[in-house]
Amino acid sequence: MKYRNVYLDNGATTMVDPKVMEVMLPYYTKKFGNASSGHHFGDEARQGMEKARKIIASSIGANTDEIVFTSGGTESNNFAIKSIACTNKEKGNHIITSKIDHDCVLNSCRWLETQGFKVTFMDVDKEGFITPEALEEAITPETILVSIIHGNNEIGTIQDLKALGEVCRKHGVYFHTDACQSYTKTELNMKTMPVNLMTLNAHKIHGPKGVGALYIRKGTEIKSWQDGGGQEDNLRSGTENIHGIVGFGESVKQAMNQKHRDYMTRLRDKLIDGILKEVPDVRLNGPKGDKRLCNNINLSFLGVEGEALGGYLDQKGICSSTGSACSTHNLEPSHVIMALGRTHEEANGTIRLTLSRFTSEEDIDYTLEVLPGIVKKLRKISPIGRLTNYVLRENA
Ligand SMILES: *Cc1c(COP(=O)(O)O)cnc(C)c1O
């Protein structure tokens, strides 16, 4: 078996599409103007930015004046949650999110707790879903904002935005969703989805890092979070990242294609089915089928340390991840896997494999050849593998 470099960590970040790179390059050198300048260099920068805004707005059924560019998903989530809470605090002091949201959402909510807000961190079911009924139960007269992740970055669960949004609308509560992982991979239509704010970013969809957007529905009461020159209609001051924004627009243009979704879905299911067939005692975390992100696989291998499995896969050229990339510096089991009701041991045996439209059939075949052998070897040698056998025998 020949060594092969296989990148299966597209949930952490993706390669910049060469076509995106090509569109960005002139904005570093020839068209380097500041969009606030009145001269023709400024015009050029502004035109590039507004073209990108149009592409992004139309990709989600929004108006151009409902798109605010930011430095990425983290900033958009911080901006949406903290700013909506602080702008609307006369209406109430209660925020709702889920136990499986991204750390930048959870930690924004925890910061709001230090400012006197009350936060409900909702439980999810075994596949990571929040039901509209459970959401309705969590809403109180004090609730001003619900923030729930759309496509989960670890387990791929896609929430029903329409159903959850309708509950929020019925109760007059703002609904924000983090759609960094689902953007371009699922239909997002603000004309039919009752969503007030939505976080998007570029580097998960073959665009550059350090650029994102916040969709803000017209009429939403929100104040700027950052003081300065009043860019982005007074909502986000700071000189715009023109080359990044131009690249973001092009990455959306390239990614919005059903063919890419179908391709990733087929490879995803081939890899899932292949592993489940070859390896015993494996659990798929998150749902199967079309309620799962088309590029996400998350598996718990009983009796295996996820970190060790990831390390051995890396030696063979295969990049995977344990937990989310943003929190791999701590060895706590993933808060998302634990929220599914898994045991510590299952959570520790978890790896995530995330594909992209640049993943090849050969990449999948190679992974299917390599992975089962590594799991077998680890189960033989690892202390927790032996311990599991022991515990299982004790319980038998
Ligand atoms: C990557 C990611 C973020 C953070 O976005 P950055 O642009 O890296 O700041 C937030 N939420 C989700 C779901 C993500 O996947």
Average pLDDT score over residue span 151-162:
98
What does the pLDDT read at residue 384? Answer: 59
Return the best residue to mutate from 13, 74, 200 for the ligand 1 pocket (most ligand atoms within 8 A of CB).
74
Average pLDDT score over residue span 156-179:
98
What does the pLDDT read at residue 393? Answer: 45
Q: What is the mean pLDDT of the chain?
A: 94
What does the pLDDT read at residue 381? Answer: 84
Residue type, 88: N
Ligand 1 centroid–CA 183 distance in Å is: 11
Return the best residue to mutate from 98, 188, 204, 248 for the ligand 1 pocket (most ligand atoms within 8 A of CB).
204
Q: Establish whether residue 176 lines the binding site of ligand 1, counting it when its CB lies within 6 angstroms of any ligand atom.
A: no
pLDDT tier for residue 345 given thresholds of 50, 70 and 90: confident
Which residues are catalytically annotated? 326
- Domains of the chain plus CATH, in order, are 6-14+258-388 (3.90.1150.10), 18-255 (3.40.640.10)
pLDDT tier for residue 387 given thresholds of 50, 70 and 90: low
Provide the whole-model pTM.
0.95
For 113-150, how does the pLDDT look when each residue is reduced to its tens digit (9 = 90+)?
Answer: 999 999 999 999 999 999 999 999 999 999 999 999 99
Is the CB of residue 297 less than 8 Å from the CB of residue 313? no
Phi and psi, residue 42, nearest 5°: -65, -40
Measured CA to CA, the distance from residue 149 to residue 322 in angstroms comes to 19
Measured CA to CA, the distance from residue 98 to residue 298 in angstroms comes to 19
Q: Return the DSSP state at 267.
A: H
Helix H or strand E encompassing 69: strand 67-70
Is the CB of residue 108 less than 8 Å from the CB of residue 82? yes
Task: Say whether pLDDT at 16 is over 50.
Answer: yes
Residues 6+ apart with CB under 8 A from 355: 8, 10, 264, 267, 268, 271, 295, 296, 297
Beta pairing class for 197-201 and 212-216: antiparallel
Write out the two tokens for 365.
């075949």
Is the CB of residue 202 less than 8 Å from the CB of residue 247? yes
Ligand 1 centroid–CA 128 distance in Å is: 18
Q: Establish whether residue 212 lines the binding site of ligand 1, counting it when its CB lies within 6 angstroms of any ligand atom.
A: yes
Measured CA to CA, the distance from residue 26 to residue 10 in angstroms comes to 27
Q: Establish whether residue 73 lines the binding site of ligand 1, counting it when its CB lies within 6 angstroms of any ligand atom.
A: yes
Helix (H, G, I), strand (E, B) or coil at 28: helix
Is the CB of residue 302 less than 8 Å from the CB of residue 317? no
